[in-house]
Structure 1
Amino acid sequence: MKYAIIAAGEGSRLAQEGISLPKPLVKINGETMIDRLIRIFQSNKAEEIIIIVNALNLITEQHVRKLMETKNGCNIRLVVKSTPSSMHSFSEIAPYLTGENLCLTTVDTIFHEEEFEEYIQAFESSSCDGMMAVTDFIDDESPLYVEVDNQMIITDFVDVKGPNSRFISGGIYALTDRCLKTLDRCMKEGQSRMRNFQRGLIADKCHLIARPFSKILDVDHAGDIQKAEGFLNS
C-alpha cells in the first residue's frame, strides 16, 4: 500500500500568529508533524510514501531530503511543486499512486495512531472503492458533512448539516486507484477543492464507507498546537 502526504500549503495563518517554522516542521509533543506521519505510515507497512512540498518552502524540502538519506527515509519519494490547492497537489502526485491501494492526508492531520491502524486494516479487508475517516467531533471552520446510511455507506458530502450527517470528513482518504479516474475528471472540469473530489466519487458511483474516529484535528492556528498535544496525551 502506498501513502501520500500533502505538505504544499504556505501555512500563512500560523505565520501570521507568530509561528516561524513551516507547518510541516511544527512539533507536536516534540515530533514534527511530517515526521510523525512518516513514522505512522511506515509502521503500517508503507511500500512507498509520496510527499509533495511547496517549491517556496526550502526548509521543509531540505528536511525531507535529509531524512531520505537515512534508513528510515529509504521509501520516501519527494515532489517539489507549488500548487493552488490540495486537490492540485493530489493530482501532481497521482502518477506515482496508480496500480496500488493508497492512503492520502494533509500534513497537519492529527489522530490517534491506534485508530489509524484499525482504519487501515479495515480498508484492506474490505471491497470498497474508498474508506473515508470521519468524526463527530467538530472543530473546523468550514466542515464537510458526510451523509451515511445505516450501514455507514456514504451517500453524499454536504456543506450544511442534515438529518443523516452527524459526521464530518476527517481528511484521511484510503482509496483504490479507481478513484484516480474521478480525480482526473474533476481536474479537467476545473474543480479545485478536495470536497468536490469527494462529491465526484459519489457522482461516479464509487462505493465509499465511513470509518469513525473519536477525534481528528487540523493544525491551522497557533492554538491548535496545544489542542493537538492535549488530545494525543489524553
Structure 2
Amino acid sequence: MKFAIISAGEGSRLAQEGVQLPKPLVQLNGMAMIDRLIHIFAKNGAEQVVVIINNEVAQTKEHLALLKKVSEVPLEVIVKTTPSSMHSFYELSTYLKDDKFCLTTVDTIFREEEFSRFIETFKASDKDGLMAVTDYIDDEKPLYISTDEELNITGFHDARTPDCRYISGGIYCLTPKSIDTLQRCMENGMSRMRNFQRQLVADGLHLGAYPFSKILDVDHASDIEKAEAFLIGKDN
C-alpha cells in the first residue's frame, strides 16, 4: 500500500501570524509535520510515500532532498506549484494507480493508534474507499458527511443535514478506481477536493466512514500549541 502527502500550499496564514518555518517543516513536539507523517506511514507498512511540494520555498525542497536520502521508506518527491489540492492529487495520482493508497495533507493531525486501526480496516475492506471522519469540529469550512446506519457514505455537504453525524477529517484511503473519477473531474474543470469526493458518490463508488475521536488541522499559529497538546494527550 502506498501513502501520499499533499504539501504544496503556501502556508500564508501561518507566515502572516509570525511563524518563520514553511508549513511542512513546522515543529510539533520537536518533529517537523512532514517528517512525522512519513514516519507514521513507514510504521504502517508503506511501500512508498509520494509527496508533492510547491516550487516556491527552497527550505522545503532542501529538507525533502536530504530526507529522501535517509528516509526509512522509499520516498518520491514532486516539486510543482499547483492551483489547488485536487490538482496536487492529480500530480500524485501517477504513482497511485496500481494499488490501494492513503492520501492526506501535511497539516492533518491525528492519534497514531487510531490511524493504524483505520489503515488495517481499509486493507481488509472490499470498499472503494474509507474516509476518516470526526464529530469534532474546529474547521472554518467543514465538509459534512452524511451516512447510513452502517456508516456507508451517502453524500458530502457544505452545510449540516439531518443525517450528518460527522465532518471529513481529510484522510482518504482509496483504490485505483478513484483515479478514474479524478481524471474526469480534471477534464470537467473541477478544482476542489470536496467536489471530487462528491463525484465519487455520483459515480457509485462504495465509500465508508471511519470515525476518529479528533482530527486537527494546523492553519494558524495558535493551532501549533493545540496540536502539540493533543498529541501528548493534554488537550482536555
Per-residue CA distance 1:18-47 (angstroms, 9 max, x = gap): 001100000011110000000000001100
Residue type at the aligned position of 2:121: A
- The residue that corresponds to 2:202 in the other structure is 203
Aligned partner of residue 94 in structure 2, secondary structure = helix
Matches within 5 A, 1:1-234: 1-72=1-72, 75-234=74-233
CA distance in 2, matches of 1:34, 1:230: 18
* 1:71 Cα deviation after fit: 4.9
Given the two structures, how large is their TM-score scaled by the length of structure 2? 0.98
Residue type at the aligned position of 1:149: D
Aligned partner of residue 6 in structure 1, secondary structure = strand
CA distance in 2, matches of 1:159, 1:209: 19
Given the two structures, how large is their TM-score scaled by the length of structure 1? 0.98
CA distance in 2, matches of 1:122, 1:24: 28
Residue type at the aligned position of 2:156: F
Residue type at the aligned position of 2:152: I
CA distance in 2, matches of 1:112, 1:31: 15
CA distance in 1, matches of 2:175, 2:215: 22
CA distance in 1, matches of 2:100, 2:71: 24
- Provide the aligned length of Structure 1 versus Structure 2: 233
RMSD across aligned positions (CA): 0.7
Aligned partner of residue 164 in structure 2, secondary structure = coil
Aligned partner of residue 69 in structure 1, secondary structure = helix
Q: For structure 1, which runs of at least 5 residues remain unmatched after alignment?
A: none
Q: For structure 2, which runs of at least 5 residues remain unmatched after alignment?
A: none
Residue type at the aligned position of 2:55: A
Per-residue CA distance 1:110-152 (angstroms, 9 max, x = gap): 0000000000000011100000000000000000000000000
* 1:70 Cα deviation after fit: 1.4
